[in-house]
Structure 1
């Protein structure tokens, strides 16, 4: 026989599930009719009274049913016994869709569109952080005898292109040597080590290509050193309008969330705090640090491979969201994005 605490959690779980589905306050009779709780309506009413006194549910209007509070959602999330896994066809469809991306930008945009469709929330994804990147390849492309294009390709799929204006013309043989010197110094190194290597290369280069190496190194250091700005990809922002009433009950509540998404800094801060891939974080309502999004919840995790986190990914929506499905969808998309980028 379940303990009173377990029985009350079963009641809370039923209230959360019904409220997510119907967006209507839930009464004791409804719970007894819809769920096999194994107790009478009177017992359910008593359990609801205890849950309300403990701050897990509240009564929005006199004579109405109950709705979960932020604390109730937290208890529900913390005690999730299992997350409904995606079916093999669903996982296969996600992988095939992401593999169709032609480059990093396309893969990330596909990922947020897919995640927004799966969860019906706003999907957010951080571009791969440079600190977690390794230089996979560097290409030197002569545009004319006095101008070069440097193309730096990271293991995350990130590509940076930089122009180098030379002080003098160089021939094809010198371009080939420059390409070899830069490749030997940089390829396979993390960004911090690569920036040191390219700086040292400038002082050790052969005399006839030294000027080209110095100019290239100056440009590359700007690429290899972590930049303060970050980039965010959004998908499904229009989904907020379908849940406008959930954000504080007024249009202003939803507008503040939209403003936070537009400014990006608040969301980027949350994504930057994510742990390694496979570890999911759920922030609910008042747990959000920024006041702009305290009427929302956010599910986040990291994406990457081989123990390296490239960046963060997640969904943002009202506190009345389907947490089990959201956690499953975010986890799956993060996993497959990491696999796709690592294979390129």
Structure 2
């Protein structure tokens, strides 16, 4: 019974510290929570929690604040992620439904999530590795260059400019576009690269053969190269002007945001874990394995669906993986319940948006 009560005290300390950002004392806990025991008993419980590493006393005779271990216990005991209210969900739908393209939707999603949480929001474009080819166009430019425009089933639009002293004429490029759209429609970019290589090997025309091999390389590069430019962020200036992060913790956090490859790898891994955690994954402090985020927490959820082989090989069963992620980065004393709910709600909207795009 004492252990159960002690953990109720811990939860109360975390909730009060998140709200006030001031060390919490036994007297305020007794007044603000129905713990059913005296202030002295609560004080003893807090001392025990400090000995066990859940709380720390920053100053002598001051109240206590949660440690990373305390936050982890609190987050793990949030039995379910409280869904947003119907009004809040309608607000998300209204705010995002005015978007005119995938990029616009992702920018709006980042801005909205930052507004809801007061923290930094990060939204990634759908991974090209998990995208199928919807359409490709080859367009003749001046000075012998060719513009390759690739549109995927997830709404990504990617362009590459090919330079060379001798490129096929407009008619040849138009015919090539038609061939690719017939032969490669709805294939993954890796499969489209393989198909282009096969078409190149069987083509008798030198110009066509050369261009198909170049396109095979372009598709393969798109499928394998991580595109850090596909990150949409919002809320940085809002967080820097608030009082929720100390100056000492803010500089490393901003440095972490500059390292987009590291950030993308972290949040991608967390989004894959979110499937097993009520749709949301939370990394606290050192759990991020990123020194600059030691005083921050990262809440992430994947969105979209992609069927991938369980072992990486076809025929070994399939698993459903997210194709991108949405996340929020803030101080360890963030409001976890609100942040987790908001991240999951925005991810759910983006999943529905992509499903609608795919049906069009």
Q: TM-score of the superposition, structure 1-length normalised?
A: 0.89
In the TM superposition, residue 146 of structure 1 has moved relative to its aligned partner by 6.5
Q: CA RMSD in A?
A: 2.4
Contact kept, 8 Å, 2:189 with 2:219, in 1: the verdict is no
2:28 aligned to which of 23, 27, 30? 30
In the TM superposition, residue 34 of structure 1 has moved relative to its aligned partner by 0.8
In the TM superposition, residue 242 of structure 1 has moved relative to its aligned partner by 4.5
The match for 2:355 is 342
The match for 2:84 is 86
Distance 1:144 1:264, change over 3 A: closer
1:128 aligned to which of 112, 126, 129? 126
1:323 aligned to which of 336, 346, 360? 336
The match for 2:214 is 218
Measured against aligned partners, the alpha-carbon deviations of 1:242-289 in whole angstroms (never above 9, x if no partner) come to 556645xxx232111111112223311212212176532111112221
The match for 1:300 is 300
Structure 1 residue 272 and structure 2 residue 268: aligned?
yes
1:159 aligned to which of 151, 157, 160? 157
Q: Structure 1 CA distance, aligned partners of 2:243 and 2:262?
A: 20
Q: Structure 1 CA distance, aligned partners of 2:348 and 2:141?
A: 39
Measured against aligned partners, the alpha-carbon deviations of 1:154-192 in whole angstroms (never above 9, x if no partner) come to 1121111234568466464x5553222111222111121
The match for 1:240 is 239
In the TM superposition, residue 17 of structure 1 has moved relative to its aligned partner by 0.7
Could you tell me which runs of 5 or more consecutive residues in structure 1 were left unpaired when the two chains were aligned: none
Match runs of 1:1-344 below 5 Å? 3-142=1-140, 148-164=146-162, 167=166, 170=169, 172=171, 174-205=172-203, 207=205, 211-212=207-208, 214-225=210-221, 226-231=224-229, 232-242=231-241, 246-247=245-246, 251-273=247-269, 274-275=271-272, 278=275, 279-305=279-305, 307-344=320-357
Q: Structure 2 CA distance, aligned partners of 1:96 and 1:258?
A: 31
Q: TM-score of the superposition, structure 2-length normalised?
A: 0.85
| Residues matched between the structures, number | 336
Q: Structure 1 CA distance, aligned partners of 2:188 and 2:236?
A: 35
Distance 1:170 1:239, change over 3 A: closer
Q: Structure 2 CA distance, aligned partners of 1:35 and 1:242?
A: 32
Distance 1:331 1:176, change over 3 A: same
In the TM superposition, residue 108 of structure 1 has moved relative to its aligned partner by 1.2
